[in-house]
């Protein structure tokens, strides 16, 4: 099992009240993103206003998944839509992104 954020977007942040930090959701870019996340967390903990501490992933929160079994149904629907999009796009009939992929993006919160 993988812990993938709903919108496939990485996030980094620090809770000022508790001092706890988090970083995750790298989805395939772990080594590079981990390095940048560490530098971002350092700037956030030290309360430095830098280009890194103002990146869009700072404090990003993905929409939560629905409760079971709705979450499972949504995930299976997203996978099915992307498979259908891959099949449609593999035919080469159109240079546009498949409508199946657009539908899956909407459901996933992208």
HSE of 80, CA atoms in CB hemisphere, 13 A: 7
Residue 5 burial class via C-beta count within 10 angstroms: exposed 0-12, middle 13-18, buried 19 and up: buried
Task: Indicate the domain borders of the chain.
Answer: 1-64, 70-108
What percent of the chain shows pLDDT beyond 70?
92
Say if pTM beats, i.e. exceeds, 0.75.
no
Residue showing tokens 């992208």: 110
Radius of gyration of the chain (CA): 17
- d(CA 15, CA 55) in angstroms, rounded, equals 17
Q: Note the pLDDT tens digit of each residue in 6-36.
A: 788 889 999 989 989 999 888 776 788 889 9
Q: Three-class SS of residue 68?
A: coil
- d(CA 89, CA 43) in angstroms, rounded, equals 43
**Structure confidence at residue 9 (pLDDT):** 86
Planar angle of CA 39, 41, 45, nearest 5 degrees: 120
Q: Note the pLDDT tens digit of each residue in 84-101.
A: 888 888 887 666 777 777
Q: Is the peptide bond preceding residue 69 cis, with omega within 30 degrees of 0?
A: yes
């Amino acid at each position: 099992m993988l812990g993938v954020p709903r919108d496939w977007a990485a996030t980094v942040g620090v809770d000022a009240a508790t001092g706890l930090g988090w970083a995750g959701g790298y989805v395939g870019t772990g080594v590079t993103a981990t390095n940048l996340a560490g530098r971002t967390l350092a700037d956030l903990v030290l309360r430095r206003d830098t280009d890194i501490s103002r990146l869009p992933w700072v404090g990003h929160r993905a929409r939560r998944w629905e409760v079971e079994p709705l979450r499972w149904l949504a995930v299976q629907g997203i996978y099915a839509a992307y498979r259908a999009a891959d099949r449609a796009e593999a035919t080469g009939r159109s240079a546009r992104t498949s409508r199946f992929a657009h539908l899956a993006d909407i459901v996933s919160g992208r």
